[in-house]
Structures are given as C-alpha cells and as structure tokens.
Amino acid sequence: MDVFRKALKRVGLVNVSIIAILLLIAALPLFTTYSLGMDVLIFGLFAMSYNIIHGHMGQVSFGHCMFFGLGAYFTALLLYWLRLPSQISWIYLPLGVTGATLVAILVGTVVLQRRGIYFTLTNVAFQQLFYFLVLQLKGITKGDEGISNIPVPFDLMRLPLFYVSLGIVVGAVFLMKRIFIDSSFGLVLHAVRDSEERTQFVGYNTFRHMLKAYVMSAMFAALAGGLYVMHLHYVGLTMMRFELNAEVVIMTVLGGARSFIGPLIGAAVFYVMKDFITSNVGHWQLILGILVMAIIMFLRDGLVGRIKALKF
Amino acid sequence: MITMDFLASVFLSGLSLAGIIGLMALGLGLIFGFQFIFTFAQAAFFSLGAYVGFNLMKLGLSFWVALPAVFVFVGILGMLTERYLLSRFDRSDPASVLIFTVGLGLAIVEIIRWTQGLGIKFMQLPAGLDGSIRVLGSMFPAYRLFIIGYSGVMFIVIWLFLNKTPIGLIIRAGISDREMVSALGINISRIDAIVFGLGTALAGVGGFITAPILILQPDIGTDLNLLSIVVIIVGGMRSFGGTVISALVCALLATAFLIISAPLSNIVIFLFMGIVLLVKPGGFFGEVTRYEH
C-alpha cells in the first residue's frame, strides 16, 4: 500500500486520474453505445476549448456555440456542395476550421471591447446573428431542415471515426495544456483573469493576449463542430441553437472550470447522465437544472476541484 | 403596394411588441442596475406567468382578476428565490449567479412541461377585447391595443413607484451607489428581494398578456427574453427612459423587417445591438460604471 502511495505521488494523482478517465472514455463504447462515446469526445473537446475563455481568461460567454456551429456548417457545406473524391475530401475539415477561425478574429475584435456581463451578452448577440443568418440563407444551408446525407471522407469512414477523434482530442488536450498552462502566454492569461488592470500596468497588451486566446478557443470549438458533422453525416440548426451555449457552460462548471481536464470530465458526466436519465427516469432538464444550481452553490470548483481537494 | 393602412398596422404591431419586451427589459434592467446580477431565468418566469394565468382562467377567474394574481404570484416566487437562493452568492462573483439562474430557468421550464403536458394550448382572448377597433384608418385587433395601453400604464406606475415612494428612493439611491445606501443603515438585502420580485413579476405579467397572441408552450419566453436583452443593452442598463425608448426603437425595427422575413428581422436586431455596443458601449442612455468594464 505504501509502495502504491509513493508511486502515485511520483506520477501525481491528477495525472493518474487524467489517464484513467481517458481510458474510461476510450472504453465507453464497450459498455454503452458508440454514439454516446462520440458525444462525450466531441462535446468534451468543445467544452475544453470553451474553458480557455471561461476558466483561463475569466470571462463567461453564452455564445460560444457559434464557432462550433460555424465549424460544422463550413465543413458540411464544403463537403456537400463542392464534392471531391473521398480520399482527399478530408481537406475540408481544416478548411472549415480555418473559415470559422477567420470569423472568430473579426467577432473577437468586437466582443473583446467589453468585459463581464457585456462580453457575455455581446457573444449572445453574435451567436443569434449567425443562427438567423443560417436560417435566412436557405438556398445554401437548407434552413430549418438542415443537410443530411453529407458525404464524409472515405478514410474517416473506414477507420472508426471514434478513435480518430479520440486521437484528435488527446492531441488537442496536450497542445492546449502546453500552450495554456506551461507557457508564458498561459501565465499572462491567468494574470488577466485575476486582474486585467494590473497586467496592463506591468506592460502587457492584454487585448492582444485575450484575442489570441479567444481565437484559439474558437478554433478548437470549430474542430469539434467539423468532427460532429463527420460523425452524424448531417448538419442542422440544432448545432447552433441558444441552448447549446448553456449546455457547454454547464459541462464546464460541472467538471470544474479551474482545472484543465475538468470540462472533458464534465462532458462525460453530462452525456452519460443524460443518456441514463432520459431513458430511465425522464425530466432530464429538471434534474439538470437542480444539478447546476447545486454545483454552483456547493461545489464551486466542480467535480475535479472536489477530487483534487481529497486527501490521500 | 404599401398603403397607409398597412404602415399603420405595422406601427401598432411594433408598439405592442415594444410594450411586452419593454416590460421584460425593465425588470431585467432594474435587477441588474440595483443588484449587479444578471438573470437568465426571466424567460422561465415569463412562461410561468403565462401558464399560471392560463390555469387561473381555466378555474373560472376572469382575465381582470387573473392579471394582478399573476403579478403577485410570480413576484412572491421571485422574492423567495432572491431571499433564499440568490442572496447566498458573493456579489463580486456575478458569473456564478448567471449560471445559477440558467439552472433555475431549466428547472422551472421542465416543471411547467411536466405538469402541463406537451400539448399545444391556446388561451382565449378576454371578453370585450376579442374584436377589432378602427385606428388610424385601419382595423386593428383590440387585444393588441390593450397590450399597448396596459404596458404604457405599467411604465407610468413603475416610474411613479421609483420616483415618488420611499422604497423607490432607496432603489434609485442603490442604483447609483449601493455601498453608501447600506452604510446609511438601510437593510439593503430586504430591498434586494423587492427589486428581484418586481423584476420577475414584470416578466410574469408580460408572459400572461402575451399568451393569448402566441401559442402557449413551455419555452414561450426564450425569444422575447433575447429581444429584451437587446433592449437593455441598446438603451443602457440602468436608465428608465433609455429602456422605454430603446424598446420602442428595437420593436419597430424588428416589426418593420418582419414584413420581409422573420430571420432577417432578427439579423437586423442583433446587428443593430452589435453596432451600438461598438459605437456607444454603455448604450444610448447609460454609462459604464466602475463596477463593469
């Protein structure tokens, strides 16, 4: 027992639990459904990308699903309208993500003019703007119905997409962790979260740092959106609706916004619970609402914060 | 061919929309101005008001009795929410309250869905208001005129409440300097409950008077709540006059573009809000205080 405890201490409890959780998520399709595992991975990536703004930059956005949706729509529209042989059509995923990232530079420049509640609400405004834009441009997006039967890249079809996206998620986790926690950029961002004014006095251009973080966050959200399209072979307005903003914030605080891996765990708990409750108990939204209120009141740092606070 | 009749009816529709979103925005603005918390639960209280009123009328109460009953019921519920839940939060952490109210909204809407069922319901127009009246040379539904009149009266009543009563004086003082008011020995947490209750009650009656012209469904409040957010951003968060004028401008803008298409009308509204935030960050009649950056 002592040896075990020492080994645990050397690797670090948090790292052990991260690996354990990734393994658990990788094994999800074994004891639940394949599509539940996909939901956890894709929305876990989405929630982690959102957490760059929420947990690391200290701003709450209720519009982040615009980038998820834009990534999804750009990828889907390219795949659907500009057909390429399936061996090379995977190129549309990075192209779609690039498109959404360019939009994020423009939107970020505007929304980062303000902080706090105004930042939150300006994001809502832009998310609504893009939602209705998709609805308005019926000729291209097919509006309400969405586009089904999207041809997805051949290689991604053959390889189980689940494991491809697992690879992308794990890669993104380490990339984001390096960029955000281990670099000077991450430190400045945390300083901005704690006090933007003081960071400015030290001589940092806080706006530039925040914009970088915002765009990077949007990029990973768009990647999640593009992957979701390839999983479903479908794109629709449900990927841009207002409720999705709330859901991603909930996943983030559920897992713990202050920890890096928290949102992924939050997404896993969210979708496993949703799956169980909607099929066995019902009234998922009521239970979710009560859970959100309880988490905010009693577990300020989410589930991961609670695990970290345990003494071993 | 656009005729005068047509323009008049668009104008009056815009006015009635302005009344509804103005009431909601006023509640939202009062709560934010006084307590520095922003609530997403207004949409749920809007639905709650609609359903409570619907059921009171089904029990045989007349519209005119149900109206104040809804105001009192939703208001008391709001006061209890503030007193026992929201007052526990640290004021320096508005993000937590925001997310908390999202959870509250989800729970309320699901309870409505649970108890009322999924079926679509229609609320009867109150007797005497189900006809049409000739206004500005064209026929116009009497009920829409009632909404315009009622919200106008509510605006005046709230203005009088804020400007002519002792509690209103404290609220206005609290909006400009909250700490100073509590330093003067006034129990501000009691006023918090009143302000929050008033805000939710305004959303509740808004929902009730809107119910007859919309299809009654549990998430009836979502779209109008988003519109009311636009209204307070454009008008400035803590300005009474600004909220009223902004409600008029936004509603007329939305109704004018509604003729072309519904999504376009929303695009225009949210684009308008984005431009206002860029050009005048505090809204047209507000200013950015030291509490927000």
Question: In this predicted model, what pLDDT tens digit does every residue of A239-259 receive, in sequence order?
Answer: 888 889 989 999 999 988 888
Burial class (CB in 10 A: 0-12, 13-18, 19+), A54: buried
Mean pLDDT of A291-300: 87
Which helix (H) or strand (E) segment is B2 a member of?
none
Burial class (CB in 10 A: 0-12, 13-18, 19+), B253: middle
Above 60 in pLDDT, residue A262? yes
Closest Cβ opposite residue B107 in set A60, A114, A286: A286
pLDDT value, residue B86 = 86
Cα–Cα dist B178/B183, whole Å: 9
**Residue A299 forms contact with B (CB below 8 Å):** no
Position with higher pLDDT, A282 vs A4:
A282
- DSSP β-bridge partners for residue B123: none
Position with higher pLDDT, B143 vs A17:
B143
> Do you know the residue count of chain B?
293
pLDDT value, residue B182 = 83
Cα–Cα dist B245/B266, whole Å: 19
CB A233 within 8 A of CB A152: yes
Question: In this predicted model, what pLDDT tens digit does every residue of B178-222 receive, in sequence order?
Answer: 888 888 888 888 888 999 999 999 999 999 999 888 888 888 888
pLDDT value, residue B89 = 84
Which helix (H) or strand (E) segment is A8 a member of?
helix A2-11
**Cβ of A289 and B103 within 8 Å?**
yes
Question: In this predicted model, what pLDDT tens digit does every residue of A145-203 receive, in sequence order?
Answer: 888 888 877 656 566 777 777 778 878 877 777 777 778 888 888 888 888 888 888 88
Position with higher pLDDT, B263 vs B194:
B194
Q: What sign results for the dihedral spanned by CA atoms B122, B126, B127, B133? A: negative
CB A264 within 8 A of CB A47: yes
Amino acid symbol at B289 = T
Cα–Cα dist A223/A167, whole Å: 13
Closest chain A residue to B81 measured between Cα atoms?
Answer: A293
Output the CA torsion B252→B253→B257→B258 (10° steps).
-50
Alpha carbon of B134: minimum distance to chain A alpha carbons (Å) = 35
* Coil, strand or helix at B121: strand
- Judging contacts by C-beta atoms under 8 Å, the chain B residues touching residue A132 are 263-264, 266-267, 270
Q: What is the DSSP string of A186-237?
A: HHHHHHHHH-HHHHHHHT--HHHHHHHHHHHHHHHHHHHHHHHHHHHT-B-G
Residues of B engaging A, defined by a Cβ cutoff of 8 Å: 32, 38, 40, 85, 88, 94-96, 98-100, 102-111, 113-114, 222, 226, 229-230, 233, 261, 263-264, 266-267, 270-271, 273-274, 277-278, 281, 292-293
Above 70 in pLDDT, residue A94? yes
CB A40 within 8 A of CB A272: yes
Query: 């925001």: which residue's tokens?
Result: B98
Alpha helices in chain B (DSSP H): 4-35, 42-58, 63-84, 94-116, 142-164, 166-176, 178-183, 188-210, 222-235, 240-258, 262-279
**Cβ of A296 and B229 within 8 Å?**
no
Question: In this predicted model, what pLDDT tens digit does every residue of B46-61 receive, in sequence order?
Answer: 999 999 999 998 888 8
Span of A73-82, A96-105, A163-172, A192-201 with lowest mean pLDDT: A163-172
Closest chain A residue to B114 measured between Cα atoms?
Answer: A283
pLDDT value, residue B43 = 92
Span of A4-8, A102-106, A180-184, A253-257 with lowest mean pLDDT: A4-8
pLDDT value, residue B292 = 47
- DSSP β-bridge partners for residue B121: B216
Cα–Cα dist B246/B244, whole Å: 5
**Cβ of A289 and B104 within 8 Å?**
yes
pLDDT value, residue A231 = 83
∠A17-A18-A20 over CA atoms, to 5°?
A: 60
What lies within 8 Å, CB to CB, of B264 at 6+ separation is A132, A136, B257
For residue A12, how many C-alpha atoms fall within 13 Å in the half-sphere facing its CB? 5
Q: Across chain A, what does the average pLDDT equal?
A: 84
Query: 């997006």: which residue's tokens?
Result: A141
Question: In this predicted model, what pLDDT tens digit does every residue of A229-238 receive, in sequence order?
Answer: 888 888 888 8
* Coil, strand or helix at A153: coil
**Cβ of B99 and A249 within 8 Å?**
yes
pLDDT value, residue B202 = 93
**Cβ of A60 and B100 within 8 Å?**
no
Question: In this predicted model, what pLDDT tens digit does every residue of B231-242 receive, in sequence order?
Answer: 988 887 777 888
Cα–Cα dist A213/B148, whole Å: 46
- Judging contacts by C-beta atoms under 8 Å, the chain B residues touching residue A60 are 95, 98-99
Question: In this predicted model, what pLDDT tens digit does every residue of B102-142 receive, in sequence order?
Answer: 999 999 999 998 888 777 777 777 777 777 777 766 777 88
pLDDT value, residue B291 = 43
**Cβ of B106 and A249 within 8 Å?**
no
- Judging contacts by C-beta atoms under 8 Å, the chain B residues touching residue A296 are 96, 99-100, 103
Task: Of A78-82, A99-103, A204-208, B269-273, give the range with the top mean pLDDT.
Answer: A99-103
Above 90 in pLDDT, residue A309? no
Cα–Cα dist B203/B210, whole Å: 10
- DSSP β-bridge partners for residue B139: B134
Task: Classify residue B238 by its DSSP letter.
Answer: T
**Residue A283 forms contact with B (CB below 8 Å):** yes
Closest Cβ opposite residue B38 in set A115, A117, A196: A117
**Cβ of B99 and A292 within 8 Å?**
yes
Longest dimension (CA), chain B: 64
- Judging contacts by C-beta atoms under 8 Å, the chain B residues touching residue A129 are 266-267, 270-271, 274
Cβ-based neighbour number of residue A139 at 10 Å: 7
Closest chain A residue to B292 measured between Cα atoms?
Answer: A116
CB A67 within 8 A of CB A222: yes
Q: How far is CA A230 from CA A27, A146, B143, in A?
A: 21, 14, 49
Mean pLDDT of B80-88: 88
Closest Cβ opposite residue B111 in set A118, A286, A293: A286
Alpha carbon of B115: minimum distance to chain A alpha carbons (Å) = 11
**Cβ of B229 and A253 within 8 Å?**
no
**Cβ of A122 and B222 within 8 Å?**
no
Regarding pTM above 0.80, the answer is yes
Q: How far is CA A161 from CA A166, A190, A227, in A?
A: 8, 35, 9
Alpha carbon of A88: minimum distance to chain B alpha carbons (Å) = 35
pLDDT value, residue B290 = 42
Position with higher pLDDT, B160 vs A182:
B160
pLDDT value, residue A34 = 75
**Cβ of A291 and B103 within 8 Å?**
yes
Span of A173-182, A227-236, A261-270, B66-75 with lowest mean pLDDT: A173-182
Percentage above 70 pLDDT, chain A: 91
**Cβ of A296 and B96 within 8 Å?**
yes
The model's confidence at residue A114, banded by pLDDT at 50, 70 and 90, is confident
Alpha carbon of B79: minimum distance to chain A alpha carbons (Å) = 17
Cβ-based neighbour number of residue B263 at 10 Å: 19
